Amino acid sequence: GKPLYFARAAKTLLFGLPGNPVSAYMCFLYYVQPVLRFANGTGFSHRRFTGVLAAQLENRLDRDQLFRVNCQYPTDSLPIVLPQEKQASHMLTSVSNASGFIVLPSGQILQKGVQTEVLKMI
60 and 99 together in one domain? yes
Mark whether 28 and 61 lie in a shared domain: no
Distances (CA, A) of 38 to 26, 35, 41, 42: 18, 5, 5, 6
Please give the model's pTM, rounded to 2 decimal places. 0.85
What confidence score (pLDDT) does residue 1 get? 63
Query: What confidence score (pLDDT) does residue 12 get?
Result: 92
Res 3: pLDDT? 84
Same domain, 55 and 90: yes
Same domain, 54 and 108: yes
Tens digits of per-residue pLDDT, 14-64? Answer: 999 998 889 999 999 999 999 998 988 988 778 899 999 999 999 999 989
Same domain, 9 and 32: yes
Q: Could you tell me if 72 and 114 lie in one domain?
A: yes
d(CA 23, CA 25): 5
Same-domain pairing of 34 and 69: no
Question: 65-105 pLDDT, tens per residue?
Answer: 999 999 999 999 999 999 999 888 788 888 888 999 999 99
Domain of 75, CATH number, reads 2.40.340.10
Collapsing DSSP to helix, strand or coil, 15 comes out as strand
What pLDDT sits at residue 74?
Answer: 93
pLDDT at residue 93 in the model: 86
Do 98 and 64 share a domain, yes or no?
A: yes
Same domain, 55 and 89: yes
Residue 83's domain spans which residues? 48-120
